[in-house]
Structure 1
């Protein structure tokens, strides 16, 4: 089974979290599901560098993050591949971005996140965000 190391950005603007919806996929279990944006880590890249690059490529959004913004790692085995996903909190002042690879998006407060149909690997992050104080004190 193929295994991938990936990064995901928990993009926060004005106290809301950016939730991106995938388009159609050859894998039914991730098709049209919501996810945190990001992508694969390339050889020699630090996780934070990979996330900055992926968000720029996929959304034309600039984020300033470091390893200190690390939130959590999820290991998930899908039927056809497995991923190790490292997530980071990315606070931005400008909520604008260009949607180039996803089909839809939502800005939601942390208590609203579970109302979406998330990709299975992202669910543990959503659950941890609900229980976390990381967004407390943010404007909503």
Structure 2
């Protein structure tokens, strides 16, 4: 099975977490933490800064690693490194996603998370 290496940003601001809804592909309409694929020769942190700039027109600082989620989807294995992040500049412009929400700790279960992202929710709640 093919492994896809990705990174995800858990962007926190005022005790809320930023979530995005996919606008394309097999997982369209599912909710996720923004991020994307790690390119060859790129560190996860650099990939995350690049992906958030490309997808959301926003510059972030990457904080502590939360976890590395390993998840088997039907056609590929996902290896997703997840980091806390904060906004340095930008307005989180949705370029690839169809919707976004800022979620409080109590609201984290109010969206339909993609399976791999769902595995992070309890760990995030512990740290909020």
TM-score normalized by structure 2? 0.93
| 2:48 aligned counterpart, secondary structure | helix
Q: Using the TM superposition, give the Cα deviation of residue 82 of structure 1 relative to its aligned residue in structure 2, in angstroms.
A: 1.2
Separation in structure 1 between the aligned mates of residue 80 and residue 88 of structure 2, nearest angstrom = 25
Whether the 8 Å CA contact 2:20–2:34 is kept in 1: the answer is yes
The residue aligned with 2:10 is 10
Task: Tell me the distance in 2 between the aligned counterparts of 1:13 and 1:87.
Answer: 17
SS in 2 for 1:64: strand
Aligned to 1:65, the other structure's residue is in SS state strand
Structure 2 unaligned spans of 5+: none
Q: 2:55 aligns with which of 58, 64, 67?
A: 58
Q: Is the 8 A contact 2:60 2:88 kept in 1?
A: no
Secondary structure of residue in 2 paired with 1:32: coil
Segments of structure 1 that go 5 or more residues without pairing to the other structure are 136-140
Deviation at 1:40, TM superposition (A): 0.4
> Map of 1:28-67 to 2, 5 A cutoff?
30-65=27-62
Structure 1 segments, 4+ long, off by >4 Å, are none
Q: 2:2–2:77: 8 Å Cα contact kept in structure 1? A: yes
Q: Which structure has greater strand proportion?
A: 2
Q: Which residue number in structure 1 is paired with residue 112 of structure 2?
A: 117
Confirm or deny: 8 A CA contact 2:6 2:78 kept in the other structure.
yes
Query: Which of 41, 47, 71 lines up with 1:76 in the alignment?
Result: 71
